[in-house]
Amino acid sequence: MSENLIEVKKLVTQFLGKNGTVTAVDGVSFTIGKGKTLGIVGESGCGKSVTSMSILKLIPKQTGKIASGEILFKGKDLTKLSEKEIRQIRGNEIAMIFQDSMTGLNPVMTIGKQLAETITAHSKMDKKQAWERAEEMLAKVGIPSPAQRLKEFPHQLSGGMRQRVMIAMALSCDADLFIADEPTTALDVTIQAQILELMKELKEKENKSIMLITHDMGVVAEMADDIMVMYAGKELECGSVEDIFKHPLHPYTCGLLKSIPRLDQDSSERLFNIPGSVPDLSEMPKGCKFCTRCSEACQKCREKEPDLYQVGKQKVRCWKYAPEGVE
């Protein structure tokens, strides 16, 4: 068994809403081993980004907080670190590729300066070598005329290009864990394939760990070792990619798997053919959170929320799989 690099235990993250406190991440637990990739999937609003922002303590203090749980990274609980200590971890030990490409870049610094600074901070290169390396990295992520682009500011680039700069930046740090939040959703198919290839190299050649957040089950199948399916802030099913693709247990997972994009469709489209939508955080159903959309829901599902049950090597939060005698 590989050693765990990160272990998240019963993480609860809440926000103060207009009608009181809402729980965006509701007791989620997972681990990522060294050299492993965990794919986190689920529809919009189910708490994927909030989970990743919680790890790096990027939840806005005015409105949100980690209410409970532990985030053990190399054995240290990140939730207990001071702002100064967590800043040391961000970008050095954990690199993040944000969903929103403006969040990860400094708007008043040229692309070249930002990249070169990151490179010199993580290697013995001098400024000139770092600049050359930065140009090489931009070319690697498929940016045309990289030498010219280095002199530009983030707002001068398109969203897709900024995304690739952020990926180049993350790849230039010597981090052990990469958190990639929809890293390729905004990119066209050829560039997407290039980026996924780069991420695979990180994992296979450098034994890096990746937490990959995506809507695209096809990307998960290609990239991840394990999957966590999230819905309304909870994990509904966890297991290895192999097990979950072969025999998905939760009706929600089955629905997600039916929505894998086909070659003849635009991959940027968010394809979900599960009827209905994720309920609002302030209006969650009493029982299983998915019961309002589940074709198999019965009275019990509407009344009481199931626990996560172990079925073979998978875990699933569904009454269908509760051991006998569990009420």
Ligand X SMILES: Nc1ncnc2c1ncn2[C@@H]1O[C@H](COP(=O)(O)OP(=O)(O)OP(=O)(O)O)[C@@H](O)[C@H]1O
Contact 228, 238 (CB under 8 A): yes
CA atoms within 13 A of residue 69's CA, in its CB half-sphere:
22
Q: Does 103 bind ligand X (CB under 6 A)?
A: no
Q: Does 19 bind ligand X (CB under 6 A)?
A: no
DSSP assignments along 21-35, one per residue:
EEEEEEEEEEEEETT
Q: Does 64 bind ligand X (CB under 6 A)?
A: yes
CA angle 214, 218, 221 (to 5 degrees): 95
Tokens of 248: 């998905």
From the list Mg ion, ligand X, none, pick the one residue 50 interacts with, judged by a Cβ distance below 5 to 8 Å according to partner type. Answer: ligand X
Which residue in the set 24, 38, 89, 236 belongs to the binding site for ligand X (CB under 6 A)?
Answer: 24
From the list Mg ion, ligand X, none, pick the one residue 15 interacts with, judged by a Cβ distance below 5 to 8 Å according to partner type. Answer: ligand X
Nearest to 58 by CA among 34, 26, 89: 89
**Looking at 56-64, 109-117, 295-303, 312-320, which segment touches ligand X (CB under 6 A)?**
56-64
Contact 35, 207 (CB under 8 A): yes
Question: Which residue is nearest to Mg ion, using beta carbons?
Answer: 49
Rounded distance, CA 295 to CA 67, Å?
33
Q: Is 273 exposed, middle or buried (0-12, 13-18, 19+ CB in 10 A)?
A: exposed
CB of 45 to Mg ion, least distance (A): 8
Q: Does 146 bind ligand X (CB under 6 A)?
A: no
From the list ligand X, Mg ion, none, pick the one residue 46 interacts with, judged by a Cβ distance below 5 to 8 Å according to partner type. Answer: ligand X
Residue number with CB closer to ligand X (60 or 107)? 60
Q: Does 44 bind ligand X (CB under 6 A)?
A: yes
Which residue in the set 36, 48, 149, 162 belongs to the binding site for ligand X (CB under 6 A)?
Answer: 48
Q: Which residues bind Mg ion (CB under 5 A)?
A: 49, 99
Q: Does 45 bind ligand X (CB under 6 A)?
A: yes
